[in-house]
Amino acid sequence: MAEPVTIRLTNSRTRKKEVFEPLDPANVRLYLCGPTVYDRAHLGNARPVIVFDVLQRLLRHVYGENSVTYVRNFTDVDDKINAEARRRREAGAEGTLKELIRERTAETIRWYHDDMDALGAARPDHEPRATDYIPQMQAMIADLIGKGHAYEAEGHVLFDVRSYPAYGQLSGRSVDDMIAGARVEVAPFKRDPMDFVLWKPSSDEEPGWDSPWGRGRPGWHIECSAMSDALLMKDPEHDKSFDIHGGGIDLMFPHHENEIAQSCCANPDGKFARVWLHNEMLQVEGKKMSKSLGNFFTVRDLLDQGIPGEVIRYVFLMTHYRNPMDWTAEKVREAKHTLTKWYRQSGLSTSTQPYQPVVDALVDDLNTHEALAQCHALSNGGDFPALRGSLTFLGLMGDAIPGWARVPGFSDAETGVVRDILWQRSRARERQDYATADRLRDGLKKAGVIVRDVADGEPEFEKTPEFDVNVLDQVQADQ
RNA sequence: GGUGGGUUGGCGGAGAGGUUACGCACCGGAUUGCAAAUCCGUGAAGACCGGUUCGAUUCCGGUACCCACCUCCA
């Protein structure tokens, strides 16, 4: 039996780094709040996905491949989705609002999968959709009403925050402080300004389900309580608790606070999530990413610009998840440079065994930066099998070196032109006509082709982002 | 107003109360007809003010500045 590994995680609930002890080492259970599916995932959405992907890889490494249950939901009923569908209908899209919603959510889920796959994030074990768990949500709401934690008012069902004394504990706020600082208008039917919606009425054209409180739809928070209950807390032995719940730190309040209130009131004997993991936010060139600043972009935008998913992932891993992360062009350049080097070195091995210090780094509150530093050490030390195994472990490498790092992306015709120019250059060098040789080399450089002479054999060459086939043709024509 | 995070060398970014982080860039050298790549090496830090200590960038307190959240938000 191997030495038991001690994983430490910073638990937002206690604000301390704690030794992680699973409720059941044979089934470690994770829940990550997933996306509301109304549009492409922006770059910030990728952060918790990558953090949890690293976490689940680590847990599977420590507890066994099949000893982890990872759940990440899709929120497919939400006012933003309705608004997006209305916008499309007004723009001339065919179909009813409900049809447009169904199309949009299905399309967005496909995009989300494509984009997160590209970042090397493994699919969770379960990806429940909110609309598949309406009966469970209704049952939980009815239960909360029955226990005196929720009340009905004007077609809505509201959670009564005053009925749950621990409300605000996760985010370190008191109900009174929050009311004092509140800036929003409060619906008149709320008993307390902080009470939040569990169920709300739907118009005829909006998605809605029949319920004891009239036709309506769930509030945002109840889905996570209902789905984590259904998928992670079936086992009565473990007192209605599971191991780790996570998301962006902006979800801590109100979303996670409300989930705790709902779940702990519905299951007073359980602890709901024992460990809460929150990632800090993303910035772009030192500023918040926002549409108004013009620095807003999606994962797909970056992939379309030719930034490989592995490079994006590497940039995320450079920063510890609990620190604000700055996305910069400089980091992209550095990540690409480093990964290209590592991939070339890794090609010499097929190992899948990670270097123990890399594992040790992750064990300490997912210190991904330290893990990368250890990879640098392997690279510099020439331990390529351990490097390859570690890159695989970190999700930076699959079965093969990514195409972008391996093969220059030239078409056959372009390759022919480059080879022709290189042949002319080598002829010039043979006759010691270095002026011509240098002119050809500079011409290739100007066209965006980097040439590397090798000790024996054909020179290697690769494309840069500045590649211009017209300039290349000109260089050839000038001969 | 409330809550949380940050501030380290040119840039990015860690750990550790006393010993080189690391990467990128730069500089010097080797190698190369040139270029690229590679290798060797040097230098450079800890926002500010106090406190604890033999000794703090690392612990404690305060100040300043930046960011986020408190309203849908990863």
> Cα separations (Å) of A33 from A139, A248, A270, A299?
21, 8, 20, 18
Q: How far is the CA of A376 from the C1' of B44 (A)?
A: 21
Q: A275 beta carbon < 7 A from strand B?
A: no
What amino acid occupies position A10?
T
ipTM score? 0.88
Most confident of A223-237, A257-271, A398-412: A257-271
* Measured distance CA(A95)–CA(A229) in Å, rounded: 35
Query: What percent of chain A is predicted at pLDDT more than 70?
Result: 94
The torsion defined by the Cα of A360, A363, A366 and A372, in degrees rounded to 10, comes to 10
- Give the dihedral sign, CA A140/A142/A146/A148: positive
pLDDT value at A469 more than 90: no
pLDDT value at A464 more than 90: no
Q: How far is the CA of A81 from the C1' of B64 (A)?
A: 44
The nt closest to A344 (CA vs C1′) is: B37
A187-196, A383-392, A461-470: lowest mean pLDDT where? A461-470
Residue A106, token pair as written in the block: 């299905």
- Paired strand residues for A452: A460
DSSP string across A170-229:
TTT--HHHHHHT--SPPPTT-SSTT-EEEEEE--TTS--B--TT-SEEE-TTHHHHHHHH
In this structure, are strands A196-201 and A216-218 parallel, antiparallel, or unpaired?
antiparallel
Q: Kindly report the backbone phi and psi dihedral angles of residue A415, in degrees, each rounded to the nearest multiple of 5, phi listed first.
A: -60, -40
Are the C-beta atoms of residues A272 and A5 closer than 8 Å to each other? no
pLDDT value at A181 more than 70: no
A36 phi-psi bin (left φ>0, alpha ψ -120 to 50, beta other):
beta
A368-381 and A309-318 helices cross at what angle (nearest 10)? 110
What is the fold of A20-282? Rossmann fold (3.40.50)
pLDDT value at A1 more than 50: no
Q: A434 beta carbon < 7 A from strand B?
A: yes
Q: How far is the CA of A326 from the C1' of B9 (A)?
A: 20
Q: What is the mean pLDDT of chain A?
A: 87
* Nearest by Cα to A109 from A89, A92, A132: A132
Q: How far is the CA of A133 from the C1' of B39 (A)?
A: 61
For residue range A381-399, what is the model confidence (pLDDT) as tens digits? 888 888 999 999 999 998 8
* Measured distance CA(A295)–CA(A288) in Å, rounded: 8
For residue range A270-307, what is the model confidence (pLDDT) as tens digits? 889 999 999 988 888 777 787 777 778 899 999 998 89
Overall average pLDDT of the A53-81 stretch: 94
Q: A249 beta carbon < 7 A from strand B?
A: yes
- On strand B, nucleotides with any atom < 7 Å from a protein CB are 1-6, 11-15, 21-25, 32-39, 66-74
For residue range A10-37, what is the model confidence (pLDDT) as tens digits? 888 888 888 899 999 999 999 999 999 9
Residue nearest to nucleotide B34 (CA to C1'): A438
Whether a cis peptide bond, with omega within 30° of 0, leads into A254 is: yes
Q: A179 beta carbon < 7 A from strand B?
A: no
Q: Kindly report the backbone phi and psi dihedral angles of residue A297, in degrees, each rounded to the nearest multiple of 5, phi listed first.
A: -155, 160
For residue range A144-170, what is the model confidence (pLDDT) as tens digits? 999 999 999 988 999 999 899 888 888
Q: A182 beta carbon < 7 A from strand B?
A: yes
Would you call A450 helix, strand, or coil by DSSP? strand
Overall average pLDDT of the A139-143 stretch: 95
Q: A376 beta carbon < 7 A from strand B?
A: yes
Q: How far is the CA of A353 from the C1' of B61 (A)?
A: 47
Full-model pTM: 0.88
Strand B-proximal residues of A, range 448-467, CB below 7 A, are 450-453
pLDDT value at A410 more than 80: no
pLDDT value at A2 more than 60: no
* Measured distance CA(A91)–CA(A227) in Å, rounded: 35
Overall average pLDDT of the A223-241 stretch: 85
Q: How far is the CA of A21 from the C1' of B69 (A)?
A: 30
Strand B-proximal residues of A, range 339-358, CB below 7 A, are 341
In this structure, are strands A325-327 and A282-284 parallel, antiparallel, or unpaired?
parallel
Would you call A319 helix, strand, or coil by DSSP? coil
Domain boundaries, chain A: 20-282, 306-404, 407-477
